[in-house]
Amino acid sequence: MKKVRIGSGAGYAGDRIEPAFELAEKGNIQYLVFECLAERTIAIAQQAKMKDPNAGYDALLVARMEACLPVCRKNKVKIITNMGAANPVAGMRKIRETAHKLGLEGLKIAAVTGDDVLEVVKQGDFILEETGGKSSALKDRMVSANAYLGSQCVVEALKNGADVIITGRVADPAIFIAPAIYEFGWSMEDWNLMGQATVMGHLLECAGQITGGYFADPGYKDVPGLGRLGFPLAEVQEDGAFIVTKVPGSGGMVTLATCKEQFLYEIHDPAKYVTPDVVADYTKVQMKEVGKDQVLITGGHGRPKTNTLKVSIGYVDSYIGEGQISYGGPGAVPRGRLALEIVAERLKLSGVKFDEIRYDLIGLNSLHKDKISKTGHEPYEVRVRVAGRTQNMKEAVRIGNEVETLYTNGPAGGGGAWKAAREVVAMVSTLIPRSHVNYSIHYEVI
């Protein structure tokens, strides 16, 4: 019986590289998929592209290709990735250049474009999901708008013989399910099958998060060999059932518990998980351990895809200025509190203009505020943190400055002051009709 083995080579832009090599070398996989495109990454990449038309793809593209292209070539593993970010065509050229340097030949590389809908969004007016406001209000500050493409574009590139496929914004599960659709010739209107496939893509898309990464809690949930954490692969059958596993001997583990945590990661209503390919239903999914580090997943369902596509819009929202300083030893908490009071008073006296401000004591209440964080005993050390939102960089810088001056103008024993100010590119989303979005595929052969 035919099976397709699909490996997950990265779960985010900065992810470790060695596990992808390990999968290609020892995983007996046919496809290696790198998911590297967080929501905001594409907006920042778009800003880079505006400054340099050859920029705007993922910063680790070359490093990942140098590590994985030769072994993938040797073992006939095809690569699919969204590392094209805002500039898949420039990314494709970079892959060709890298392959050439590595002495590889006979490689067909495909770049998918068409997710960039900035002009469509600028010319139209769309309701923003988060605020209910209109996209036209952001017009002058908009830096990017990208539609989430479905798996069709990747399936088409595979049909045309591509060995490496680089895309911009394509829905995360879509780049994982495309090879299964292509290999088995699945109908993309078999909604239950698309729903089951989406579960597979969803479970793989964060790489190590299903093999024991982001899971360990000593004494409660122990994970072996985290230092050598291996990344997952799915062995998919023609009926859509699949086994999540990893390379034998790699660190980490695949268990019911690790699969369940990842299964619900970033899910809202589990009966209606909307992707460009299907509205997936997770409520009848069954998981069964069938061997060491092997979990069989069945029972994903689905309903017809919607008539719209989600679009992420990046815009320059504001500026954030921040400062930190630490206090330790006896009375650390009262000195930290005094420091926060001093900063608050000085920001007022010096007339720093901010829209929003936040005062934290790291070690005491910075993550979960006061009520939940109450333990009944004082920490030995705390770190003061002040962060404020401003309308320009100059004001943002002043916030960190007022924290740094605590050195010589604040409570006793402050140490390790740090400050920063940055522009905030924020994201909102909207839905646009599918008819507004058309993809293209570009090919190069080396």
Partner 1 sequence: MKLREIAHSRTGDKGNTANISVIARDPQKYAALARYLTEERVKEHFSEIVEGKVSRYELPNIGALNFVLYGALSGGVTRTLAMDLHGKSLCMALMNMDIPDDL
Residues engaged in binding partner 1 (CB under 8 A): 39-40, 129-130, 214-215, 217, 220-221, 257, 260-271, 282-287, 299, 317-318, 320, 356-358, 360, 362, 366-372, 385, 387-389, 424-429
Closest-CA residue to 162 (of 201, 114, 205, 111): 111
By beta-carbon proximity to partner 1, the closer residue of 197 and 287 is: 287
By beta-carbon proximity to partner 1, the closer residue of 143 and 342 is: 143
The distance in angstroms from the start CA to the end CA of the chain is: 34
**Cβ neighbours of residue 335 closer than 8 Å, sequence gap 6 or more:** 327, 411, 412, 413, 414
By beta-carbon proximity to partner 1, the closer residue of 125 and 266 is: 266
Distance from C-alpha of 83 to C-alpha of 124, rounded to nearest angstrom: 28
Question: From the CB of 61, what's the least distance to partner 1, in Å?
Answer: 23
Q: What angle do CA 173, 22, 59 make, to 5 degrees?
A: 60
**Cβ neighbours of residue 429 closer than 8 Å, sequence gap 6 or more:** 128, 129, 130, 310, 311, 312, 313
By beta-carbon proximity to partner 1, the closer residue of 70 and 379 is: 379
Question: From the CB of 210, what's the least distance to partner 1, in Å?
Answer: 11
By beta-carbon proximity to partner 1, the closer residue of 405 and 429 is: 429
Partner residues linked to 295 by β-bridges: 244, 289
Question: From the CB of 408, what's the least distance to partner 1, in Å?
Answer: 26
Strands 273-274, 78-81: pairing is: unpaired
Q: What is the three-class DSSP state of 335? A: helix
By beta-carbon proximity to partner 1, the closer residue of 76 and 268 is: 268
Distance from C-alpha of 223 to C-alpha of 204, rounded to nearest angstrom: 18
By beta-carbon proximity to partner 1, the closer residue of 133 and 248 is: 133
By beta-carbon proximity to partner 1, the closer residue of 5 and 383 is: 383
Closest-CA residue to 22 (of 305, 225, 235, 231): 231
Question: From the CB of 31, what's the least distance to partner 1, in Å?
Answer: 25
Question: From the CB of 269, what's the least distance to partner 1, in Å?
Answer: 6
Q: What is the three-class DSSP state of 182? A: helix
By beta-carbon proximity to partner 1, the closer residue of 27 and 195 is: 195
Q: How many CB atoms lie within 10 A of CB 160?
A: 12
Question: From the CB of 257, what's the least distance to partner 1, in Å?
Answer: 6
Tokens at residue 101, please? 């340097």
Distance from C-alpha of 371 to C-alpha of 374, rounded to nearest angstrom: 6
Place of tokens 């007339």: 351
Distance from C-alpha of 432 to C-alpha of 167, rounded to nearest angstrom: 20
Question: From the CB of 303, what's the least distance to partner 1, in Å?
Answer: 17
Question: From the CB of 213, what's the least distance to partner 1, in Å?
Answer: 11
Place of tokens 């699909």: 6
Question: From the CB of 313, what's the least distance to partner 1, in Å?
Answer: 11
